[in-house]
């Protein structure tokens, strides 16, 4: 794979802002900030901050930016970047994370290599009443995450692209404590894992075939200290995974099934958390072929698998005390001469039969066999991630992932993890009534229920392979790829899901004590 990111050196410093040695000093500023709140900065900049606010050039609106020169001779940094922090009443850790990304991207566009960041911990007076005071360790983590996520290049295949520089060094102005240091390290690892997943999703289909994907996953896993098995087509056949093999048979590229294991000695007893990720390295739709427009985007149909792999590597590097599995079925979905056809009946590894009504509903097929296998390997809690349905994009747009599952307490745990991670998700219904939509006259059920409630019927299809294990499904079809440029997100792969899975594992002491059996 082409190198697509660089992890900057991130360190803490207890020095005052004027003592920080950097090419650019970053300071978030609220809309409501008064003259006294930024007087120290305004004085250093010769009154430029007050003038910009008075003229309306900079109002502190969310993600607005202003670069001004430092005139105070005692300051080491000679330029300051003000980033709008929005309303103080809406201050959160995710806002700080996004501001750090915004600042990092702003610096890279100007080939500024060394940043110093002065985080806002308290949202003014509101911090006393609405809980918006950020812990130092949390602030250190999200700033480190943000600047690392900003250091990603979606144009890795360009041969003459000099539009962007790299961040080399970032200093965060916070008290240097053990908790803050741990926050920086966690943020750096999470940012790097997110960028690795983005790199996978950005790879073209001719470069990232199932075998290549599996080989890279094995390298990453071994580097993180994970156990890893790569099952080839013969071993997949021995497991009788008819759903995975059915999807794969239309391609000249053979399938792979990657199994990753994190088995720490101090693991919480009785818990095996399994991440199952869709690994379709390219999806034409098969015989039910997709329209030509935007089919090139289907190189990212393995984003769920990338998230599972990179999250598990981060969990191992962070030495999280929970036993984890990663299961990623990898294949192409192609319309070859041996491809599965509408009307075919496939038999899953669990023995359930599926009538294929639409070969473009292939993701749920490969995940069905993988979810069954995760249970065979001892999973006590399941989370699957997949760019599964266009219906979820219609329902929730491009900013929010669909969250399905059972029981409700497990779904709530996953949603809380996604909130902490900055990966928005929203719970969707899984009422049994929807199962009537994918009944089959010839098999146990079909692989699609048609257009109505398409994301729900897809989730309920997956549920058929989860037994009585607590299960959550994240439909990331809308969130895995950003179509619109935002101050904190360039167009392209987002790495969604990586941080959610890690945050979930880090919270094992909470949910590991709950009786979540269905």
Whose structure tokens read 């690795």? 196
Nearest to 279 by CA among 205, 222, 338: 205
Phi, psi for residue 300 in degrees, rounded to 5: -95, 15
* Extended beta strands in 334-442, E state: 345-347, 353-355, 381-386, 401-406, 425-427
Burial class (CB in 10 A: 0-12, 13-18, 19+), 14: exposed
H/E element holding 228? Answer: strand 227-231
Triad 456, 374, 449: Cα angle to 5°: 20
Nearest to 376 by CA among 503, 508, 276, 505: 276
CA distances from 248 to 257, 334, 501 (A): 12, 8, 27
> What are 493's strand-pairing partners?
481
Collapse the DSSP code of 364 into the 3-class scheme (helix H, G, I; strand E, B; otherwise coil) and give the result.
Answer: helix
Task: Tell me the catalytic residues.
Answer: 290, 364
Nearest to 100 by CA among 487, 500, 425, 497: 487
Task: Report the distance separating Cα 299 and Cα 210, nearest Å.
Answer: 12
Instruction: Count other Cβ atoms within 10 Å, centred on residue 32.
Output: 16
CA distances from 184 to 21, 141, 325 (A): 19, 5, 26
Task: Report the distance separating Cα 212 and Cα 235, nearest Å.
Answer: 18
DSSP state of 126: G
Instruction: Count other Cβ atoms within 10 Å, centred on residue 440.
Output: 15
- What DSSP letter does each residue of 464-507 carry, written as one string? TTSTTS-EEEEE-TTTSEE-S-BTTB-SEE--TTHHHHHHHHHT
Task: Using the CB atoms, write b or e for 282-298: b if 16+ within 10 Å.
Answer: bbbbbbbeeeeeeeeeb
Task: Report the distance separating Cα 105 and Cα 294, nearest Å.
Answer: 27
Whose structure tokens read 């409630």? 453
Task: Report the distance separating Cα 105 and Cα 417, nearest Å.
Answer: 26
Runs of H (alpha helix) within 225-260? 233-238, 242-248
């Amino acid at each position: 794979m082409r190198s697509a990111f660089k992890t900057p050196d991130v360190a803490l410093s207890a020095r005052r802002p004027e003592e920080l040695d950097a090419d650019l000093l970053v300071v978030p500023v609220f809309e409501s900030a008064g003259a006294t709140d930024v007087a120290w900065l305004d004085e250093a900049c010769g009154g430029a901050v007050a003038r910009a606010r008075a003229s309306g050039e900079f109002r502190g609106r969310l993600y607005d930016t202003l670069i001004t020169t430092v005139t105070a001779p005692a300051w080491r940094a000679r330029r300051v970047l003000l980033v709008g922090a929005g309303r103080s009443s809406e201050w959160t850790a995710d806002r700080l994370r996004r501001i750090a990304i915004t600042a990092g991207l702003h610096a890279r566009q100007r080939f500024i290599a060394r940043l110093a960041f002065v985080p806002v911990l308290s949202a003014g007076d509101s911090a006393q009443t609405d809980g918006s005071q950020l812990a130092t360790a949390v602030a250190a983590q999200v700033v480190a995450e943000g600047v690392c996520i900003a250091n990603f290049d979606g144009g890795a295949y360009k041969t003459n692209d000099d539009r962007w520089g790299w961040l080399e060094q970032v200093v965060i102005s916070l008290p240097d404590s053990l908790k803050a240091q741990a926050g920086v390290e966690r943020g750096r690892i999470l940012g790097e894992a997110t960028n690795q997943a983005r790199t996978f999703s950005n790879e073209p289909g001719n470069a990232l075939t199932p075998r290549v994907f599996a080989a890279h996953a094995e390298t990453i896993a071994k580097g993180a200290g994970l156990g890893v098995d790569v099952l080839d087509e013969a071993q997949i056949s021995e497991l009788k995974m008819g759903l995975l093999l059915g999807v794969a048979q239309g391609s000249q590229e053979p399938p792979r099934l990657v199994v990753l294991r994190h088995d720490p000695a101090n693991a919480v007893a009785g818990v095996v958390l399994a991440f199952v990720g869709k690994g379709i390295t390219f999806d034409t739709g098969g015989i039910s072929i997709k329209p030509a427009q935007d089919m090139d985007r289907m190189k990212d149909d393995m984003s769920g698998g990338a998230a599972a792999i990179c999250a598990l590597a981060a969990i191992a590097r962070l030495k999280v005390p929970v036993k984890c599995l990663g299961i990623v079925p990898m294949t192409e979905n192609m319309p070859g001469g041996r491809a599965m056809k509408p009307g075919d009946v496939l038999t899953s590894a669990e023995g359930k039969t599926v009538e294929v009504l639409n070969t473009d509903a292939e993701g749920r097929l490969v995940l069905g066999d993988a979810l069954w296998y995760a249970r065979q390997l001892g999973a006590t809690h399941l989370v699957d991630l997949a760019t599964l349905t266009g219906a979820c994009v219609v329902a929730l747009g491009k900013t929010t992932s669909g969250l399905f599952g059972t029981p409700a307490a497990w779904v709530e745990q996953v949603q809380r993890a996604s909130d902490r991670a900055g990966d928005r998700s929203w719970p969707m219904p899984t009422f049994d009534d929807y199962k009537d939509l994918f009944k089959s006259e010839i098999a146990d059920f079909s692989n699609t229920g048609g257009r109505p409630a398409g994301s729900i019927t897809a989730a309920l299809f997956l549920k058929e392979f989860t037994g009585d294990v607590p299960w959550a499904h994240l439909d990331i079809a809308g969130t895995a790829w950003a179509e619109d440029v935002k101050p904190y997100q360039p167009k392209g792969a987002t790495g969604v899901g990586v941080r959610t899975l890690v945050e979930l594992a880090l919270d094992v002491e909470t949910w590991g004590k709950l009786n979540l059996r269905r």
